[in-house]
Amino acid sequence: MIFTVAIDGPAAAGKGTIGRALAARFGFRHLDTGLLYRAVGAKGGDPVAAAEGLVPSDLERDDLRSLAAGQAASKVAVIPEVRAALVDFQRRFARAEGGAVLDGRDIGTVICPEAEVKLYVTASAEVRAHRRWLEVGGDQSLVLAEVRERDARDMGRADAPLRAAADAVVLDTSEMTVEAAVARAIAVVEQTLEGRG
């Protein structure tokens, strides 16, 4: 079965948690596409060469989750040649046999517009910054500034800007528990699978 769940949305909205939960529930593979951009940003040097030469071990660096790596990722992510170098891998992952969940910024709009399920997971900047701060600590107002800066760059870029696909189900998790958000996402996927018979 070829079945793609595309999850897009801004930083710290809950895409990863929902993506992992859906993959576990339905036995699908899961790709956190933000890691690709984080790995390119962390490699340093020429970002286009870094993207073209990306290998699986680059995704295993233990510094990829930091705020600095997120900023570096969103800076290299505006470069069209960097994005182009990462398209084929993501498309193959999305459409390989067995079902796949991909989370990112442009999965339902650019990487896999034919995805069977599209979710746009969002939350207010304040809620997302608070969640990120609980993970990374430090000065909460700096974390909020970082979230806002990355939102502006991701939504404002010319190539593959962050936006909800016209046919995406929008899930605002600002006032939802993790359990409620996951349950809602599972219900959307189940409905689509049932509709296919």
Q: Which is nearer to ligand C5P, 14 or 70 (CB)?
A: 70
Q: Which is nearer to ligand C5P, 44 or 197 (CB)?
A: 44
SS3 157: coil
The CB-of-33 to ligand C5P minimum distance in angstroms stands at: 4
Q: Which residues of 20-57 are buried (b: 16+ CB within 10 A; e: fewer)?
A: ebbbeeeebebbbbbbbbbbbbbbeeebbebbeebeee
Whole-angstrom distance, CA of residue 127 vs CA of residue 140: 11
Sign (positive/negative) of CA torsion 42, 90, 23, 34? positive
Q: Which is nearer to ligand C5P, 71 or 193 (CB)?
A: 71
Q: How far is CA 36 from the centre of its chain?
A: 10
The CB-of-93 to ligand C5P minimum distance in angstroms stands at: 12
Q: Which is nearer to ligand C5P, 78 or 176 (CB)?
A: 78
The CB-of-48 to ligand C5P minimum distance in angstroms stands at: 15
Q: Which is nearer to ligand C5P, 30 or 150 (CB)?
A: 150
- Please tell me the chain's helix, strand, coil percentages from 3-state DSSP, rounded to the nearest 5: 55, 10, 30
SS3 99: coil
The CB-of-19 to ligand C5P minimum distance in angstroms stands at: 10
Task: List interacting residues with ligand C5P (CB under 6 A).
Answer: 11, 33-34, 37-38, 70, 73-74, 77, 104-107, 150, 154
The CB-of-171 to ligand C5P minimum distance in angstroms stands at: 16
